[in-house]
Amino acid sequence: MITVFVFVMMLLVDFIDTVSERRMTAIMQGGLWRQYTLASFLGSTPGCLGAFMNVSLYVHGIISFGAIVGGMIATSGDEAFVMLTQFPATALALFGLLFFLGIFFALVSDKIIRIVGIVPCESCLEHQCEEYVPGDKDSVRAGDIFKPKNIIQNVRSLSFTRFLLLAFIGSFLVLVLVGTVGPTHWNWKRITFMGLSVCSLYIAAVCSEHYLHVHIWDHIVKKHLFRVFLWTFGALFFVHWGLAFWNLDAFIRQQMIWVLLIAALIGIVPESGPHLIFVMMYAQGLVPFSVLFTASFVQDGHGMLPLLSYSLKDFVLIKVFNLAFGLAVGSILYAMGY
């Protein structure tokens, strides 16, 4: 259920990103505060797309160093989708908190690098970054692609990939409808699952073959879905095994400050997945909110990977800033009893 929900949410986020991407650059070129706000907003959106767009804008000099620091602070990677399924109210509160802290620390970061004299993004040259230009050829035009009349044409020339996706989403929708998967009673969660499934089913039916294969199949399914399933299963298994065969609960409670530090250090890894261990431990009541917050603050999924290929120095700088800020705020929350 978690894996399918992550897939559906990723599909919808990618659709929204496709619709709005061509306007984003013009919107963000309007002063530092606008950069801070919109970079943090993009980071707050679940998944990696907002983080990738922030990297694209940064390497082209459209947003400042502080803005990308704030955007990565607000980013929780693919784990954001899992948090929405496990504890939606807390997850939304966490995203909101990270959003505002992203804006604040964006300002702090820009002031620090000016005082220290750091010159960021020296190696990110315009001609090196063409594949990340907002509005490139992969950013399909929603007005031309997502037309209801395309459904008839797509059904007539039904590809095997589209058939698999429609069968996959349709089966999940039926299972939710009859109560086999998800909540057994009608509540807001069941209605949400059904609504999201219907929307994703429509997108899979109406989109072009290019969007279907490049955005949905090659990116979401191949690069994310199986990895999310394995990490989710591994995290659940680790927590379950630790509670059943090892005194994980007592160990964590006795060493909580070290758990918080480990959560921050693991957040340095530019990968979605390891953070899920702390998500599941929080869902089981094993760790307090401060540990979940610190892990979410420091880690940014794999949103930083494109920047790593262009500037190792900037990658390290952003991670150092996020680690220092995350440990500071997380320790304060822990000291306050959260």
Task: Write out pLDDT tens, residues 297-325.
Answer: 888 876 776 676 567 788 888 888 999 99
Is residue 122 domain-shared with residue 155, that is, in the same domain? Answer: no
Region 253-263 average pLDDT:
79
Q: Which residues pair with 302 in a beta bridge?
A: 300
The whole-number pLDDT of residue 46 equals: 77
The whole-number pLDDT of residue 325 equals: 92
The SS3 assignment for 302 reads strand
Is residue 119 domain-shared with residue 170, that is, in the same domain? Answer: no
Is residue 244 domain-shared with residue 321, that is, in the same domain? Answer: yes
For 17-42, the pLDDT digits (tens) are: 666 655 655 666 667 888 888 889 88
For 241-252, the pLDDT digits (tens) are: 665 666 666 666
Is residue 315 domain-shared with residue 230, that is, in the same domain? Answer: yes
Count CB atoms within 10 A of the CB of residue 86.
Answer: 17
Is residue 104 domain-shared with residue 161, that is, in the same domain? Answer: no
Q: Is residue 142 part of a domain?
A: no
Is residue 61 domain-shared with residue 172, that is, in the same domain? Answer: no
Using CA atoms, how far residue 230 sits from 3, 12, 18, 194, 225, in Å, is 9, 22, 28, 24, 9
Last residue of some domain: 156, 174, 206? 206
Last residue of some domain: 191, 206, 221? 206
| Interatomic CA distance for residues 138 and 290, integer angstroms | 39
Is residue 211 domain-shared with residue 174, that is, in the same domain? Answer: no
Is residue 174 domain-shared with residue 322, that is, in the same domain? Answer: no
| Interatomic CA distance for residues 70 and 28, integer angstroms | 14
Alpha helices by DSSP H, listed for the chain, are 2-28, 32-44, 49-59, 65-74, 79-86, 88-116, 142-145, 150-156, 160-178, 188-206, 209-211, 226-245, 248-254, 256-266, 276-283, 289-298, 305-308, 312-335
Is residue 39 domain-shared with residue 162, that is, in the same domain? Answer: no
Is residue 122 domain-shared with residue 257, that is, in the same domain? Answer: yes
Region 208-237 average pLDDT:
77
Last residue of some domain: 206, 229, 249? 206
pLDDT band at 105 (very low <50, low <70, confident <90, very high): very high
Q: Is residue 141 part of a domain?
A: no
pLDDT over 70 at 101, yes or no: yes
The count of structural domains within the chain is 2
Is residue 231 domain-shared with residue 305, that is, in the same domain? Answer: yes
Region 96-100 average pLDDT:
92
Q: Which domain holds residue 190?
A: 147-206
- Percent residues over pLDDT 90 in the chain: 7
Is residue 178 domain-shared with residue 198, that is, in the same domain? Answer: yes
Region 165-194 average pLDDT:
83
- Percent residues over pLDDT 70 in the chain: 76
Region 41-56 average pLDDT:
76
Alpha helices by DSSP H, listed for 134-287, are 142-145, 150-156, 160-178, 188-206, 209-211, 226-245, 248-254, 256-266, 276-283
Which of the pair, 244 or 256, is modelled with greater confidence? 256
* Residue located via tokens 């993004």: 121
User: Which residues have C-beta within 8 Å of that of residue 85, sequence separation ≥ 6?
Assistant: 1, 2, 5, 6
pLDDT over 60 at 179, yes or no: yes
Q: Which of 153-157, 222-226, 235-239 is the most confident on average?
A: 153-157
Q: Is residue 77 part of a domain?
A: yes
Q: Are 24 and 56 in contact (CB under 8 A)?
A: no
Region 79-86 average pLDDT:
82
The whole-number pLDDT of residue 98 equals: 92
Which of the pair, 41 or 235, is modelled with greater confidence? 41
